[in-house]
């Protein structure tokens, strides 16, 4: 079907029977598989005659029309998805409003609007309810598609579920998967910390995901420090809590005074023969990027305009900054991000996902669009939050009691 800018190809009128489509998009989080499973189960319990399809690889699949139908066998065994991480239907980082990138990927042709193409595909597939599981970009893009279709007399109810391990979506109190990611990151470091015994004067930096929000780093640090409570140790043989403890936690919301911190950590190194640091991958990035660009170096960015952190490597940057100042003999930088984000949802996250999915299905059937979450601006009530209010970049509130308690523990070593 050839599309002309500003027009919509004529298809059948919206079907009387509801038809559901599900897609997952953006980076992974420990909630995607669980969310897909709960949605399938709840629609089946509500009305097994409702057809469900899943677009493959997020918005890439929507643009290409690639999808799978949820069969009776899948419905009967959807609970299996609670045991798995990742997304069974695949993700991609396609931004519908980045026309140049969509053309480059071969998803649309030159002069074609990806939003129109996606809207047209939903009409072709006769979808009446679209569930998007992703971050702020995923859900606001879906809202734009729905708005476009509404203007062409093809109403689609769009109900999002907030996925991000950074917990940085405004105004949502707790995004899906963030609790699990923190728990998994703590487990990861519980093994890595033993590397302090591999070499004298060891500096270990645990780099956690978190571009502009320090929540995941802070929550992971808290989960790890909590895990040390009651852990049997043997101080008489140098197996001490001080060597297992964290000695610094750095998040993007707090500027790092490298010289002052180096003086403090040098005393820790001299006393305990090791230093353990938790670093958010976004901490200090603005300073690093400024230095690179001042030297005339280009800083690569993704389709969303985000700096590609794997190219900037904040962990390596701070390792170099601290190593000499602390007199470290060996430096180890380890990243838990991929392990943490690809894990199956834990008990706490599954309970939240279950509640969100229940309301998402209810909203879908009733025709109420929005992103399901605990609305911080409405008394933390679980509701379909209006899409125009959904935004990314929520900063971690470093003033919360549990984080201040954590810093006191860390700084007292």
pLDDT tens column, 358-386: 999 999 999 999 999 999 999 999 999 99
Question: What pLDDT, on the 0 to 100 scale, is given for residue 1?
Answer: 40
Computed over every residue of the chain, the mean pLDDT equals: 92
Pairing of strands 370-375, 381-385: antiparallel
pLDDT band at 6; cut points 50, 70, 90: very low
Closest CA to 4 of 126, 113, 104: 113
Tell me the pLDDT tens digit for each residue of 139-161.
Answer: 888 888 888 888 888 889 999 99
Question: What pLDDT, on the 0 to 100 scale, is given for residue 407?
Answer: 97
User: Is 257 designated active site?
Assistant: no
Give Cβ neighbours of residue 268 (< 8 Å, ≥ 6 apart).
Answer: 247, 275, 413
Tell me the pLDDT tens digit for each residue of 319-340.
Answer: 998 999 999 999 999 999 999 9
Phi, psi of 383 (to 5 degrees): -155, 170
Question: What pLDDT, on the 0 to 100 scale, is given for residue 143?
Answer: 84
Asked whether the beta carbons of 120 and 8 are under 8 A apart, the reply is yes
Tell me the pLDDT tens digit for each residue of 129-142.
Answer: 999 999 988 988 88
Q: Provide the token pair at 72.
A: 């009776």
E-state strands within 102-165? 129-134, 157-162
Is pLDDT above 50 for 83? yes
CB atoms within 10 A of CB 322: 22
User: 101, 125, 136, 166: which is the annotated catalytic residue?
Assistant: 166
Pairing of strands 274-280, 330-335: unpaired
Bond into 75 cis (ω within 30): no
- How far is it, in rounded angstroms, from Cα 195 to Cα 323? 16
Tell me the pLDDT tens digit for each residue of 28-60.
Answer: 999 999 999 999 999 999 999 999 999 999 999
């Amino acid at each position: 079907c050839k599309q002309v800018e500003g027009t919509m190809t004529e298809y059948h009128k919206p079907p009387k029977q509801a038809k559901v489509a599900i897609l997952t998009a953006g980076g992974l989080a420990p909630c995607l598989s669980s969310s897909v499973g709960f949605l399938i189960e709840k629609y089946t319990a509500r009305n097994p005659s409702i057809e469900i399809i899943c677009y493959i690889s997020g918005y890439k699949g929507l643009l290409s029309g690639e999808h799978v139908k949820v069969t009776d066998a899948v419905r009967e065994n959807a609970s299996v998805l609670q045991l798995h991480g990742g997304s069974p239907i695949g993700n991609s980082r396609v931004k519908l409003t980045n026309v140049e990138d969509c053309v480059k990927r071969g998803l649309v042709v030159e002069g074609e609007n990806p939003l129109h193409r996606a809207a047209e595909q939903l009409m072709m597939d006769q979808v009446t309810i679209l569930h998007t599981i992703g971050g702020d970009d995923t859900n606001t893009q879906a809202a734009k598609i729905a708005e476009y279709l509404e203007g062409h007399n093809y109403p689609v109810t769009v109900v999002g579920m907030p996925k991000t391990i950074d917990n940085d979506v405004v105004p949502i109190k707790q995004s899906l998967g963030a609790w699990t990611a923190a728990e998994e990151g703590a487990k990861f470091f519980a093994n890595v910390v033993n590397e302090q015994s591999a070499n004298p004067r060891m500096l270990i930096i645990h780099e956690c995901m978190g571009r502009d929000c320090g929540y995941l780093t802070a929550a992971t640090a808290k989960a790890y420090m909590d895990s040390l409570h009651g852990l049997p140790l043997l101080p008489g043989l140098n197996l001490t809590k001080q060597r297992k403890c964290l000695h610094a936690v750095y998040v993007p919301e707090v500027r790092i005074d490298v010289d002052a911190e180096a003086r403090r950590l040098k005393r820790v190194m001299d006393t305990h023969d090791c230093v353990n640091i938790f670093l958010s991958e976004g901490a200090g990035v603005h300073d690093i990027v400024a230095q690179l660009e001042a030297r005339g170096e280009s800083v690569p960015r993704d389709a969303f305009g985000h700096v590609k952190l794997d190219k900037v490597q904040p962990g390596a940057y701070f390792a170099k900054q601290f190593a000499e100042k602390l007199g470290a003999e060996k430096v180890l930088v380890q990243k838990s991000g991929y392990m943490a984000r690809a894990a199956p949802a834990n008990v706490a996250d599954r309970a939240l996902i279950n509640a969100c999915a229940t309301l998402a299905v209810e909203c879908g059937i009733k025709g109420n669009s929005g992103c399901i979450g605990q609305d911080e601006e409405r008394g933390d009530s679980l509701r379909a939050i209006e899409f125009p209010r959904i935004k990314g970049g929520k900063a971690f509130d470093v003033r919360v009691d549990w984080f201040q308690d954590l810093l006191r523990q860390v700084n007292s070593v």
